Structure 1
Amino acid sequence: MSAPSTTKTSPDLAGRDLTLDLARIVCVLLVIVIHLLQVGIGRGPDGALVTSRPAEEQSWFDAATWVGQVMPLFFVVGGFASAAGWESWRRRGGDAAGFVRTRTLRLAQPAWPLFVFFAVVLSVAVLIGAPSDLVAAAAVGAGSPLWFLAAYLLCQALVPLMVGLHARAPRATVLGLLAGVVAVDALRFSTGISEIGLLNLLFVWPLAQQLGFWYRDGWFARRSALALVAIAALCYALLWPLTAWGPYSTSMLGNLNPPTLPLVLLGVAQACILCLLRPALERVMRVRWVRGFSFVLGSRLMTIYLWHLPVILVITGLTLLIPGAAPEPASPAWWWSRPLMFVVVLAAVLALSLLIARWEALGTLGATPAPGVVALAWACAFIPPFVVMEWFLSLGSAVLGAVLLGVAVLLLRHRRFARQPVAQSVGSQA
């Protein structure tokens, strides 16, 4: 069935599970906290510039990642939302091309100004002759969260297919994805070719998304509290032999890119824990100011995620200009400065979002372009973050991203590329 000729993107909150919105916000805020603990730039006792990754130097860091690595949960929650969005889209007569178009725009539009920013800043750095090693280190750090765009774009493109497979054979689909994860890991570690692990972009994150479908179906809610605790405990217990005797890193950060089997176990455990916490989260979301705070952050969440590391680096750079404001990384003063830095960074990102968050809003869209155009636009959106994920952020990858993401947005929004509206318009999409 053809996609609607016009698409309004105003949210429909009826039947929305607000606890999942809160979970998504907590995940992003925790990512900010983790990055604040990893970015160590300050002055040493002699006044010289010191750079390090303080959190990773601590003996507790690996163990902390077993709790703090929340990206699997983000994909679980995203799976819930994607299944609901696809069902709503289909109910209003939309097709797969239209769905992928809107989901791609939701990621490409906020990412485009960020890549433009990186291209401009890195170009200026080259022109003024800034130290290349310092610029490269800052670029690598600022671009590190962009892997998420590639992984999430891939998952979103697969939603129509995976929802259909889930409806027909939910268990077989999960087992098939799990077998793919194990097979890729086995081939990667037996050959020593780490690039083979990239194939798990097709298995690990879609499997976490698939868990979100199960969550939406009520599978986790139908389990007793004791069963959920047991499943979560078993998943964590399995991580120990996999990391102690198996080939996997004891740090869940080390298992992130390429993604590996331990992240699947984390996803299952985190889905169980989320279900256990749901009654408490529901009570929290009944508090009016919490709902308001969640709405403000939730409506700017992609902007916050994409821009928080550049903002951290800019604010850290400014502290270097203020005597005594940039303590030596990993010193007691540096650790005590982290809560204040979190507040300052969050306030700065929210202020920045007033200028650029409009790129998160899709507004009213015209008719969906032909499937081939949507596929081309999706590829243009996928390539830049994938390149950054593999070869890190540089001037070349920033310029490439600025160009390709601009092309993607143009292809998906400009009426020149839209299909002719159907004779009987399905109506507007909420």
Structure 2
Amino acid sequence: MGARRLFLLLPVWFRFTLVTLAVFFCGVVLSRPAGANDERPLTGDVAVAARAVDAFAHPSAGHDPRNDLPHDFAEEQNRTPRTVTAPDGTQRAVDDGGGCSGPAGDTEWDFSVACRAHDLGYDLLRYAEHKGRPLPHDARKELDDRLAADLHRQCEINPRDAKTTCHAVAEVYAQGLKFNSWRQRWGPPGHEPVVAWAFGSAVVVFLLLARTGNRRREDPLAPHPVVQDRYATFLRIASLGLLVIGETIATIAHWTGFDPNWLWALQVVPIFFFAGGHANLLSWQEHQEHKGGFGCYISSRISWLMRPVLAFVLLWVVLFAALNLLDVEVDAYSRLITHPLWFLGVYILAVCATPVMAWLHRNHRLTTPAVLTAVTIGVEVLRASLDWRTGGYVILLLGALLMQQYGFFYADGSLDRIPKRTLAGVSAVTLPAIATLVYFGGNPRSVIILGLGQVCLALLARRPISNWLAGRSWHVIDFVRTAPMTIYLAYLVVLGLVVWMIGLVTAPVVLVLILVPLLLVFHRFETRRTWFPKLSHESHRTRLATGLGAAYGVFGVLGFVVTGFLGAEATLVVLPVDPLQNVIHLLLGWYLIHIARTGSCDKRLPWLLTALACVPPLLVLEPTAFVVVPHVATIGLALLASIPRPPVRTPAATPAAATPSQGDLVGSSGPVR
């Protein structure tokens, strides 16, 4: 019995509790900010603040800690410090605006002086951060230890006939404070979007549980996959492998301060999108033969990709949450894992563009690649002249679409008519040009030259490699094709051992011990066949769910590329993202694609859940327009889609108008229910 069936046998309340606790644990741990200690020496006002923190942490009866405050501290932090004598006889600097933030406030044992002094010490941490150099982590730890000692000391001085209760309350206050400091990695205290995190965690729970009860059966009328072109499949797998290896070497080279130009030899992204274009066009044509629309095509084409990617991401989120709980430094390894995922996000965009690009290929075969080439060159010129950083993302997408068009020519047999001498001549010109650009300029300024040379080489190697694939070697390629994320997971296990053995990072050895037994489980999950019924009708809701699902799936995948799995915030082109938001986006995209494939788009609950999933990003402290606009628009569309359609009314038969057939109703108003 599979793990999913065992999970479904559990009571609903137990499933809900189990998932909620797991999500809460991961959310709390992964919301921790990056906590690298600043090793720069303390100077100026920051050094004065450090001495003041030391005075706060080690008070005495004969020293006024207010004299140690920086000269502009009160003005910068809008505080009015004054000196008071604590119940233990020591002098403390406090501000009347402070106090205990626990549920019982200052309590009946009067923790007020200790809490106010601690709050003013936290203001010193904020002051140092404002000056550009946060204090070391030990500063906050010392302040927290001082407060814990003061609270317990107050219980000895003023027990009020409840010493045991007082010590229990003091311990709760102290542990809660230390937990919050640990969660903030002992850095400067700051205001955090707790409501957004709580709401976001609840949304993750709902999205995870929304599909646990769904069951799928094979539909014998569903279209079967098109016949595999073994060479095109080999190109996709080989380019994917070289791409991952190249990204790994580039990341490790960056760690070691070594940036070799020859890594461009492993940049086979054009070949990946060239071979992907071949598969995308054949799949689109197969859907058209079965009267399928673009919504059904896109959902079926990317669902096989998003499902293992989501499982892969959730697996690493849980693993990194466990390591993060132990304060293991895994940020570098997190980036190493997530960075190669960028091509998956771009590939989803290329898949979504396939119906339009296929129409352009059919009606404007030569004009389309010419226009894409001209636009790509124009964007490259603008990026170089205006230092337009976002232009790099545009070039990447345009290059993917251009290589996909070349794949269309390969799919319809047009490239087979090109003489081998021509292919060899183009390769002989483009590859030295690439080498020259790399040697003198550091990187080739045009992906067009790189892609053209690689495509020509791929066409020249087609016959010998196809003969090689006709034997047993195809079984290896077919295994990799059916379980790519499992292979990537195994690759990461080996990579973890390598980087640990050469001393770059220490965390992967722990990850390897955890990942090895999970490989078989993940492989079984990825290779498990999932069948969906063939939809007889594609409604506007199906297209809307597919479009939104693809968009949010891309947001989620690319979001992890820029943030990693830890609690760092980053910007995806113009959209601010964080790991929790990435999880929500990826889950929402997966869920919308799922309801599009299962024909559940006419139900109200999926759309209400979609609207709910777009609320957490709006609850952050200062959401930007790039956050508000797409999420508010999605909420509006989801609420409109949740409005039930009026039932189809069949008019009575009259001599002037016969009763419409079921086919007429399907063609005009939707399926008969």
Q: Which TM bucket (shorter chain)?
A: 0.7 to 0.9
Aligned residue in 2 for 1:148: 343
Q: 1-side partners of 2:359 and 2:560: how far apart?
A: 32
Task: State the Cα distance separating 1:190 from its structure 2 match.
Answer: 0.9
Quick check: 2:559–2:579 contact (8 Å CA) kept in 1? Answer: no
3-state DSSP of counterpart to 1:221: helix
Quick check: 1:113–1:402 contact (8 Å CA) kept in 2? Answer: no
Are 2:559 and 1:378 aligned? no
Cα distance per residue 1:95-115 (max 9 Å; x no partner):
111111112212211111122
For the aligned residue pairs, the C-alpha RMSD in angstroms reads 3.4
Aligned residue in 2 for 1:23: 235
The structure 2 residue matched to 1:364, chosen from 528, 532, 535, is 532
Aligned residue in 2 for 1:139: 334
Aligned residue in 2 for 1:355: 524
Q: 2-side partners of 1:176 and 1:373: how far apart?
A: 31
Aligned residue in 2 for 1:311: 493
TM-aligned CA distance change 1:90 to 1:116, over 3 Å = same
TM-aligned CA distance change 1:264 to 1:52, over 3 Å = closer
Aligned residue in 1 for 2:464: 280
5 Å-filtered alignment, 1:74-89, equals 74-89=272-287
Aligned residue in 1 for 2:475: 292
The structure 2 residue matched to 1:11, chosen from 225, 228, 231, is 225
Q: 1-side partners of 2:490 and 2:406: how far apart?
A: 28
AA of the residue aligned to 1:417: S
Cα distance per residue 1:130-166 (max 9 Å; x no partner):
2xxx322111111111101211011000000001001
Q: 1-side partners of 2:599 and 2:289: how far apart?
A: 27
Are 2:361 and 1:166 aligned? yes
Aligned residue in 2 for 1:211: 406
Q: 1-side partners of 2:394 and 2:241: how far apart?
A: 29
Q: 2-side partners of 1:365 and 1:403: how far apart?
A: 27
Q: 2-side partners of 1:211 and 1:295: how far apart?
A: 24
3-state DSSP of counterpart to 1:234: helix
AA of the residue aligned to 1:213: F
Quick check: 1:211–1:268 contact (8 Å CA) kept in 2? Answer: no
Q: 2-side partners of 1:315 and 1:177: how far apart?
A: 43
The structure 1 residue matched to 2:442, chosen from 238, 243, 249, is 249
AA of the residue aligned to 1:278: R
Q: 1-side partners of 2:599 and 2:560: how far apart?
A: 31
Task: State the Cα distance separating 1:391 from its structure 2 match.
Answer: 4.5
Task: State the Cα distance separating 1:168 from its structure 2 match.
Answer: 0.8
Q: 2-side partners of 1:403 and 1:352: how far apart?
A: 24
| Aligned residue-pair number | 366
Aligned residue in 2 for 1:46: none
Q: 1-side partners of 2:251 and 2:438: how far apart?
A: 26
Aligned residue in 1 for 2:587: 406
AA of the residue aligned to 1:57: F
Aligned residue in 2 for 1:195: 390
AA of the residue aligned to 1:270: Q
Quick check: 1:377–1:407 contact (8 Å CA) kept in 2? Answer: yes
Aligned residue in 2 for 1:65: 264
The structure 2 residue matched to 1:119, chosen from 304, 317, 323, is 317
Task: State the Cα distance separating 1:206 from its structure 2 match.
Answer: 0.6
3-state DSSP of counterpart to 1:11: coil
Aligned residue in 1 for 2:306: 108
Task: State the Cα distance separating 1:229 from its structure 2 match.
Answer: 0.7
TM-aligned CA distance change 1:11 to 1:366, over 3 Å = closer
TM-score (norm 1): 0.75
Task: State the Cα distance separating 1:280 from its structure 2 match.
Answer: 0.3
TM-aligned CA distance change 1:166 to 1:198, over 3 Å = same
AA of the residue aligned to 1:11: P
AA of the residue aligned to 2:332: A
AA of the residue aligned to 1:264: I
- Name stretches of at least 5 consecutive residues in structure 1 with no aligned partner: 41-50, 253-260, 321-325, 330-346
AA of the residue aligned to 2:304: R
Higher-RCO chain (CA-CA 8 Å, sequence separation at least 6)? 1
AA of the residue aligned to 2:402: L
Cα distance per residue 1:287-318 (max 9 Å; x no partner):
1x21222221221125434x35643454447x
Aligned residue in 2 for 1:255: none
Q: 2-side partners of 1:423 and 1:123: how far apart?
A: 54
Q: 2-side partners of 1:62 and 1:147: how far apart?
A: 21
Cα distance per residue 1:159-178 (max 9 Å; x no partner):
00001001111211001111
Cα distance per residue 1:379-421 (max 9 Å; x no partner):
110101222344555346443333222222222223463359x
The structure having more radius of gyration, on CA atoms, is 2
Quick check: 1:304–1:349 contact (8 Å CA) kept in 2? Answer: no
The structure 2 residue matched to 1:157, chosen from 326, 337, 352, is 352
3-state DSSP of counterpart to 2:415: coil
Aligned residue in 1 for 2:623: none
Q: 1-side partners of 2:404 and 2:519: how far apart?
A: 28
Higher helix content, 1 or 2: 1
Cα distance per residue 1:200-245 (max 9 Å; x no partner):
2431111111110112232322111110011122222433564466
AA of the residue aligned to 2:264: T
The structure 1 residue matched to 2:448, chosen from 264, 269, 283, is 264
Aligned residue in 2 for 1:47: none
TM-aligned CA distance change 1:244 to 1:315, over 3 Å = closer
Task: State the Cα distance separating 1:124 from its structure 2 match.
Answer: 2.3
Aligned residue in 2 for 1:230: 425
AA of the residue aligned to 2:449: L
Quick check: 2:236–2:272 contact (8 Å CA) kept in 1? Answer: yes
3-state DSSP of counterpart to 2:225: coil
Aligned residue in 1 for 2:291: 93
AA of the residue aligned to 1:20: A
Aligned residue in 1 for 2:634: none
AA of the residue aligned to 1:407: L
Q: 2-side partners of 1:33 and 1:206: how far apart?
A: 23
Aligned residue in 1 for 2:149: none
Cα distance per residue 1:175-195 (max 9 Å; x no partner):
111112111111111111312
Q: 2-side partners of 1:155 and 1:409: how far apart?
A: 17
Aligned residue in 2 for 1:343: none
Q: 1-side partners of 2:562 and 2:391: how far apart?
A: 12
3-state DSSP of counterpart to 1:57: coil
Quick check: 1:311–1:349 contact (8 Å CA) kept in 2? Answer: no
TM-score (norm 2): 0.49
Quick check: 2:345–2:557 contact (8 Å CA) kept in 1? Answer: yes
Task: State the Cα distance separating 1:275 from its structure 2 match.
Answer: 1.2
3-state DSSP of counterpart to 2:394: helix
Task: State the Cα distance separating 1:8 from its structure 2 match.
Answer: 4.0
Aligned residue in 2 for 1:333: none
